[in-house]
Homo-oligomer: A and B are copies of this chain.
Amino acid sequence: AQLALEKDYEGQRVFETRYRVLLEASNEALVLVDVGTGRILDANSAAAKLFHAGQAALSNSAFTQEFEGRKRADFLDSLIRAAEDESGQAVVAPLRRNGQEVAIRPSAFRNAGERVLLCRIHRTESGPTTSVKQDLS
């Protein structure tokens, strides 16, 4: 049984590597948020760049903290509602570090019993010819 477990464990290590490769390969800023604590489980380098933060510093920090004037509970609630919305609605919020407005598109999943949000984050354009809707399409 021990051997079988070890073998299966090795197999699982495979997925941790693949997860990290996919996370970093994404051009989109991606952040995984623990719904229970509101903390960042993982953020890719595109997200760290967008937030003007170190990738390691983001890990385990409060996601709300990256945004301007947001109450933690309200903010998490709006993300959960957006994740439940079938139409793929985004939550728009200004970044704390530079006021840049971003659109957050969250989707929810169960991860070992914990509720987790995968948040895809894009800059919203402020140019006159481009609406937020178009950016999210």
Contact = CB atoms under 8 A, between A and B. Distances in A.
Interface of A: 2, 5-6, 8-19, 21-23, 25-26, 30, 32, 42, 107, 109-112, 116, 118, 120
Contacts of A32: 18
Given A9-B9, A21-B118, A22-B23, 5 more contacts: A12-B12, A12-B15, A17-B110, A19-B19, A22-B118
Given A25-B107, A26-B22, A118-B22, A9 B5 contact: yes
A19 B11 CA distance: 13
B14 A13 contact: no
Contact of A12 (B9, B21, B110): B9
